[in-house]
């Protein structure tokens, strides 16, 4: 690495004058030195200048050395006239050798410098392209571009501006603008006829414009930025298309399941009502009761379905914590089991809830819905006659409630995914209808209550769904606000 590379031209010429002057002073101190040796020492200084401070200053050093040699060491001394014709030849030969040697050495040095600069620039540009292609965030890409450009061109600032709604907006910047007046150079970021923005650099000084090579580098960086922006745009479009396709798929799936799930209970209700209205048949009271029970059950089923759909859209819309009141979980479970009695008729149900279980602050209807969905699944996915157990207890600062069954259990690796919307697991063991919303709704409701819900398989077979509810639930925001408003109104 050449330490004089960062020197200005004036400094380099100054250096060449100083080195010849110092050499002359030193040579004057040594009067016994032969003329040939003096010429060689001058030549040495010229060569050193050529290899360190460049071609121009080395030429000046050659000329000065020639004049110094003539003035101080060639007879008659201290004049530029030359008495001996041999000396004229010696002097001219010295000048020629000095100029040729310095021009050769200077050129070699300039070439080495250029090669080194190109290698550094190439490495920086390569690093930039690597970073750009590895980065996915547009902001991060633009930031790296601004930094690298400022560093590569050694300019005080570099900014990347992009068109946003027809307005040019600065998206990334490196460095602060210099206090003195400066000139900015814009390189357009174009793709075909479309201009995406501008790569703007500030010149080092008013009288130090960017070189052709530097402008070429700016063009090269601009083309990389355009590629990165295009890639980011295409990725964004692909993501949007994927999201749209997914939404379409979900919409299709939802419509399909809703129409199927609505139609089945409606068909049963319609059939039962048609039978009851048929005057040609004299229904005995037991048959009449069966038909009415079927209508009752299927209406519950419809009600549950519509309730689930409404709840899901409420949760999706970012529902707030529901209004809560102190509830006895034992009573709540008994109510749900009682309401679902005909659905649960084919399963022995055991309830194991301690009488002294502390009350919890919950929304009655929502926890009812969670239990209903879990029990509904236990009925749907387990063979008739297998038992269903409901238990509850306290652990640390939460109440836990579980629903266990003796069905096929949860397939390995899916215990988390089944809580996602529209995720269903079907197979020969679980052929029941459904929309894949029941557990997602349970999760949404329990999380609104600041609790947790999860599923696991029982060692003896069957699934266990557990949810927790905090014993000291955080205050209801709406209720607190109402109370504050009331207090404020009272104090006026």
**Rg of the chain taking only CA atoms, in angstroms:** 45
Strands in 167-174's sheet, in edge-to-edge order, are 167-174, 158-164, 194-202, 184-191
**What beta strand segments (E) does 125-193 contain?**
158-164, 167-174, 184-191
Task: Report the half-sphere exposure of 292 (CA within 13 A, side-chain side).
Answer: 7
Buried b (16+ CB within 10 A) or exposed e, 468-485: bbbeebeebeeeeeeeee
> Using the rule CB under 6 A, which residue among 151, 190, 339, 430 binds ligand ADP?
430
Instruction: Kindly write out the interface string for residues 364-383 of this chain, putting x where it contacts ligand ADP by CB under 6 A and - elsewhere.
Output: -------------xx--x--
Q: Provide the minimum distance between the beta carbon of 425 and ligand ADP in the complex, in angstroms, as a whole number.
A: 3
Q: Is residue 425 close enough to count as binding ligand ADP by CB under 6 A? A: yes
Site for ligand ADP in 189-248 (CB under 6 A): none
Rounded Cα distance, 486 and 26, in Å = 100
Rounded Cα distance, 161 and 311, in Å = 46
Q: Is residue 302 close enough to count as binding ligand ADP by CB under 6 A? A: no
Which among 133, 197, 125, 109 has a CA at the least distance from the CA of 159?
A: 197
Q: Provide the minimum distance between the beta carbon of 422 and ligand ADP in the complex, in angstroms, as a whole number.
A: 8
Q: Provide the minimum distance between the beta carbon of 389 and ligand ADP in the complex, in angstroms, as a whole number.
A: 12
Cα of 198 vs its chain's centroid, Å:
24
Q: Is residue 453 close enough to count as binding ligand ADP by CB under 6 A? A: no
Strands 388-395 and 349-352: parallel
Determine contact, residues 158/142, Cβ cutoff 8 Å: no
Closer residue to ligand ADP, CB minimum distance, 69 or 381:
381
Mark the segment that binds ligand ADP (CB under 6 A) among 26-34, 337-345, 404-412, 479-487: 404-412
Mark the segment that binds ligand ADP (CB under 6 A) among 58-66, 325-333, 393-401, 418-426: 418-426
Rounded Cα distance, 180 and 182, in Å = 6
> Using the rule CB under 6 A, which residue among 229, 291, 439, 453 binds ligand ADP?
439
Q: Is residue 451 close enough to count as binding ligand ADP by CB under 6 A? A: no
Mark the segment that binds ligand ADP (CB under 6 A) among 40-48, 359-367, 405-413, 483-491: 405-413
Mark the segment that binds ligand ADP (CB under 6 A) among 283-291, 341-349, 389-397, 417-425: 417-425
Number of neighbours of residue 61 by Cβ within 10 angstroms: 28
Closer residue to ligand ADP, CB minimum distance, 68 or 409:
409
Q: Provide the minimum distance between the beta carbon of 329 and ligand ADP in the complex, in angstroms, as a whole number.
A: 20
Q: Is residue 463 close enough to count as binding ligand ADP by CB under 6 A? A: yes
Mark the segment that binds ligand ADP (CB under 6 A) among 150-158, 325-333, 393-401, 433-441: 433-441
Rounded Cα distance, 177 and 202, in Å = 7
Determine contact, residues 304/433, Cβ cutoff 8 Å: no
> Using the rule CB under 6 A, which residue among 434, 445, 449, 468 binds ligand ADP?
434
> Using the rule CB under 6 A, which residue among 407, 446, 449, 467 binds ligand ADP?
407
Q: Provide the minimum distance between the beta carbon of 312 and ligand ADP in the complex, in angstroms, as a whole number.
A: 10
Closer residue to ligand ADP, CB minimum distance, 272 or 439:
439
Q: Is residue 467 close enough to count as binding ligand ADP by CB under 6 A? A: no
Q: Provide the minimum distance between the beta carbon of 350 and ligand ADP in the complex, in angstroms, as a whole number.
A: 16
Number of neighbours of residue 138 by Cβ within 10 angstroms: 20
Q: Is residue 458 close enough to count as binding ligand ADP by CB under 6 A? A: no
Q: Is residue 410 close enough to count as binding ligand ADP by CB under 6 A? A: yes
Closer residue to ligand ADP, CB minimum distance, 268 or 463:
463
Q: Is residue 333 close enough to count as binding ligand ADP by CB under 6 A? A: no
Which among 140, 193, 200 has a CA at the least distance from the CA of 169?
A: 200
Rounded Cα distance, 65 and 58, in Å = 10
Rounded Cα distance, 51 and 305, in Å = 88
Number of neighbours of residue 148 by Cβ within 10 angstroms: 20
Chain length of the chain:
492
91 Cβ contact partners less than 8 Å away, ≥ 6 residues apart: 66, 69, 70, 74, 82
DSSP-assigned letter for residue 428: T
Q: Provide the minimum distance between the beta carbon of 377 and ligand ADP in the complex, in angstroms, as a whole number.
A: 3
Q: Is residue 436 close enough to count as binding ligand ADP by CB under 6 A? A: yes
Binding site for ligand ADP (CB under 6 A): 377-378, 381, 405, 407-410, 418, 424-425, 430, 434-440, 463
């Amino acid at each position: 690495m050449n330490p004089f590379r960062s020197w200005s031209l004036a400094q380099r010429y100054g250096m060449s004058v100083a080195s010849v002057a110092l050499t002359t002073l030193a040579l004057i101190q040594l009067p016994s030195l032969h003329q040939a040796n003096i010429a060689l020492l001058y030549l040495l200084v010229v060569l050193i200048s050529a290899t360190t401070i460049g071609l121009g200053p080395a030429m000046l050093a050659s000329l000065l050395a020639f004049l110094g040699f003539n003035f101080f060491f060639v007879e008659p001394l201290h004049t530029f006239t030359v008495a001996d014709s041999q000396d004229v030849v010696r002097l001219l030969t010295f000048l020629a050798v000095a100029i040729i040697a310095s021009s050769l050495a200077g050129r070699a040095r300039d070439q080495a410098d250029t090669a080194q600069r190109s290698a550094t620039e190439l490495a920086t540009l390569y690093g930039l392209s690597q970073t750009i292609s590895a980065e996915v965030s547009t902001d991060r890409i633009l930031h790296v571009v601004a930094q690298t450009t400022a560093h590569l061109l050694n300019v005080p600032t570099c900014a990347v501006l992009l068109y946003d709604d027809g307005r040019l907006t600065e998206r990334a910047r490196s460095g602060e603008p210099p206090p003195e007046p400066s000139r900015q150079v814009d390189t357009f970021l174009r793709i075909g006829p479309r201009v995406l923005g501008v790569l703007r650099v500030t010149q080092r000084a008013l009288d130090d414009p960017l070189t052709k090579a530097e402008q070429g580098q700016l063009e090269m960086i601009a083309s990389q930025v355009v590629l990165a922006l295009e890639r980011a745009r295409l990725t964004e479009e692909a993501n949007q298309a994927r999201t749209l396709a997914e939404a379409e798929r979900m919409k299709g799936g939802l419509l399909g399941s809703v129409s199927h799930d609505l139609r089945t209970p409606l068909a049963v209700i319609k059939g039962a009502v048609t039978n009851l209205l048929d005057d040609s048949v004299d229904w005995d009271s037991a048959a009449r009761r069966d038909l009415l029970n079927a209508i009752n059950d299927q209406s519950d089923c419809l009600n549950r379905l519509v309730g689930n759909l409404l709840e899901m859209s409420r949760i999706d819309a970012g529902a707030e914590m529901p209004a809560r009141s102190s509830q006895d979980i034992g009573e709540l479970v008994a109510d749900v089991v009682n309401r679902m009695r005909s659905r649960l008729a084919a399963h022995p149900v055991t309830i194991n809830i301690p009488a002294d279980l502390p009350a919890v602050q919950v929304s009655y209807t929502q926890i009812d819905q969670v239990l209903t969905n879990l029990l509904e699944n236990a009925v749907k996915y387990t063979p008739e006659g297998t038992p269903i157990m409901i238990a509850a207890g306290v652990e640390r600062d939460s109440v836990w409630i579980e629903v266990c069954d003796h069905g096929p259990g949860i397939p390995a690796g899916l215990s988390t995914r089944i809580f996602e919307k529209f995720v269903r697991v079907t197979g020969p063991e679980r052929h029941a209808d459904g929309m894949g919303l029941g557990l997602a709704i349970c999760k949404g409701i329990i999380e609104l209550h600041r609790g947790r819900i999860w599923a696991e398989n029982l060692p003896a077979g069957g699934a266990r769904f557990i949810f927790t509810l905090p014993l000291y639930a955080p205050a209801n925001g709406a209720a607190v606000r109402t109370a504050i408003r009331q207090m404020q109104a009272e104090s006026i």
